[in-house]
Amino acid sequence: MIKIFKILSKFFGIDFFNMTYTLKDEEKELWNSIVEKAKCGHQEFWKECEKDPNYMGWPWMSPDLTKEESEFIKNLHYKFFGLDYIVDPIGCAQVDYMWYKDIKDRIIV
């Protein structure tokens, strides 16, 4: 369903029902940095899983997001989901990854 709204947003140049967000030029570099840190953290997470098949946890950002990146992803997550809280006891880098995963398909670069 998100893909349909993303296609419509790209084609018509407007956000339908607050389902997508088109990055401004000055935000693209920030977003690309977030994407790279998510990929790196996800790879590190799977390496930990390979070492210990009983590893319990969530992927993370690596290295940690800067304050600007963290605020950016937090604001985008709030745009789509409002005050949505994670109640599992995880670290900040893992929360940032979860928020990234929630919104990544809604972002138009």
Strand partners, 22: 108
pLDDT at 6: 63
71/35 Cα distance (integer angstroms): 15
19/72 Cα distance (integer angstroms): 17
* Per-domain residue ranges of the chain: 2-108
Kindly report whether the global pTM for this prediction surpasses the value 0.85: no
pLDDT at 104: 93
Q: Which helix (H) or strand (E) holds 108?
A: strand 107-108
pLDDT at 63: 93
Rounded to a whole number, what is the distance in angstroms from the first to the last CA of the chain?
18
Q: Which helix (H) or strand (E) holds 31?
A: helix 25-51
pLDDT at 83: 79
pLDDT below 70 — which residues of the chain? 1-3, 5-17, 85-89
pLDDT at 77: 92
